[in-house]
Amino acid sequence: MRVISGSAKGRPLKAVPGMGTRPTTDKVKEAVFSMIGPYFDGGQVLDLFAGTGGLSIEALSRGMDRAVLTDMDRKAIDTIRHNLQSTGFSDRAEIYRNDAFRAIKALSKREARFDLVFVDPPYKLKIIGELLEQLQQSGLLAGEARVVVEHDAQDRHEESYGMLEQVRRAEYGDTAITIYQNRTRV
């Protein structure tokens, strides 16, 4: 695993020890960023179920200003810290060891707003719809925010969740990426 493009291009990323975390492959990561970027002119990114932190680190490398990364696994948190330090992004990121729903609630109290959100829960957890609803209800999504969901290719999700509309879906083996865009109603 490595940073594919941007200011930290080529820097290696450490994997989370053990078999509990499924990192996003470089191929899938490259496809995601070709769909949503490839580069950014600032913005805030939220990475729920961050694992190695690879997606947020890639977003920072490609121009996002700040990132908030959350994960429940202590080994993942240690790996995220290491990867942020080795890429030089520690000062542009906040890391929380927390459940995704509790993280959303805490960030809402801070009135945080995100332009890009990564949602990549373990495939066995069927909580994506609930997470997308919670993100909206909490007010965490900026006006035209995009939410990138990584999930099992066999799983299908709604075309829309409230004001989040599905704009793209692509499959890469047993992994699928579904992208939602926050739409403001007229």
Instruction: Please list the residues that pair with 48 across neighbouring strands.
Output: 119
Quote the pTM value: 0.95
78-82 LR contacts (CB < 8 Å, sep 24+): 79/14, 79/15, 79/16, 79/17, 79/51, 79/52, 79/53, 80/50, 80/51, 80/52, 80/53, 82/14
Question: How many CA atoms lie within 13 Å of 66's alpha carbon, on the beta-carbon side?
Answer: 8
- Residue 41, classified by CB atoms within 10 Å of its CB into exposed (0-12), middle (13-18) or buried (19+), is exposed
48 dihedral zone (left: phi>0; alpha: psi -120 to 50; beta): beta
Report yes or no: 35 and 170 within 8 Å, Cβ to Cβ.
Answer: yes
Q: What would the pLDDT profile of 105-156 be if each residue is shown by its tens digit?
A: 999 999 999 999 999 998 888 899 999 999 999 999 999 999 999 999 999 8
Q: Check whether 185 has a pLDDT greater than 60.
A: no
What's the CATH class of domain 26-182?
alpha beta
Q: Please report, for the chain, the start and end positions of each structural domain, with discontinuous segments joined by +.
A: 26-182
For 151-177, the DSSP string reads: EETT----SEETTEEEEEEEEETTEEE
Nearest to 65 by CA among 45, 38, 50, 88: 45
pLDDT digits (tens, 9 = 90+) for 5-55: 999 999 999 999 887 777 788 889 999 999 998 999 999 999 999 999 999
What's the rounded Cα separation, in Å, for the pair 27 and 20?
21
